[in-house]
Amino acid sequence: MVADYVGNGACANCHGQATADWTDSHHDLAMQEATPNTILGDFDNAQFHYHGVTTTFSRRGDDYFITTDNATGALETFPVKYVFGVEPLQQYLLPLPGGRLHALAIAWDTRPVQAGGQRWYHLYEEEPVLAGNPLHWTGGYFNWNTSCAECHSTDVKKRYNPETDQFDTHYEQIDVGCEACHGPGSTHQQLAQQGALSAEQTGFKMSLTARGVWQWPEG
């Protein structure tokens, strides 16, 4: 039997505390649609100057825009589609041709002012990374479809067509949900409903016991 993804809502029916702990966590907020509730940066026509390029962050109603240098070096205005992360920084995903999304290399420092935050900064502040440089935000290293999506969302399918050079990338869940680590949960759910769960028969093909756990110490 091939397990299917059932979504966090199905998990919450039995795992209420785990769901509460996950809600508003960094996993939950790993990727979100760009809205007034999720945008943390200054989009009040704020400007950021970087090696001769002036980037402007603006807003029209509930829509957000960034005017910055495109792949040819000319200024272009891009709509902000999604936000990445909440702490200690937030990045912004902009659309490019061919179904691509790219993370702008200018990020918002979400830390308090007292800690040096609440400001725009470039990820490569000390060196000029301009159009044509492989590390420019329009280059492959900042492509969401291939470099970011798999870790920030659940069950990502890149769906790249080499004949047309187009992406049609899809995900089961926009953020890092339960099944991003545990795997698809339909079999687990069925076993639970049948009262047939056991340590030997969890319904998951992926085991978390063999994985390391990253933890950042305080300070």
Quote the tokens at residue 72: 């040819």
Same domain, residue pair 123 and 167: yes
At 148 the pLDDT is: 95
At 208 the pLDDT is: 72
Q: Which residues, at least 6 apart from 202, have a Cβ–Cβ distance to it below 8 Å?
A: 188, 191
Same domain, residue pair 47 and 74: yes
Say what the pTM is.
0.89
Same domain, residue pair 34 and 14: no
Q: What is the number of domains present in the chain?
A: 2
Same domain, residue pair 22 and 4: yes
Same domain, residue pair 168 and 182: no
Same domain, residue pair 70 and 152: yes
Same domain, residue pair 121 and 195: no
Q: Are 204 and 11 in contact (CB under 8 A)?
A: no
Same domain, residue pair 14 and 55: no
Place 218 in a pLDDT band, splitting at 50, 70 and 90: confident
Q: What is the pLDDT of residues 70-127, one digit of tens each?
A: 999 999 999 999 999 999 999 999 999 999 999 999 999 999 999 999 999 999 998 8
Quote the mean pLDDT of the chain.
94
Residue 159 within any structural domain of the chain: yes
Q: How many CB atoms lie within 10 A of CB 117?
A: 15
Same domain, residue pair 155 and 190: no
Same domain, residue pair 114 and 103: yes
Same domain, residue pair 51 and 39: yes
Residue 213 within any structural domain of the chain: no
Residues spanned by the domain of 194: 1-28+177-208
Residue 10 within any structural domain of the chain: yes
Same domain, residue pair 20 and 41: no
Instruction: Give 53-60 contacts, CB < 8 A, sequence gap 24+.
Output: 53/130, 55/106, 55/120, 57/120
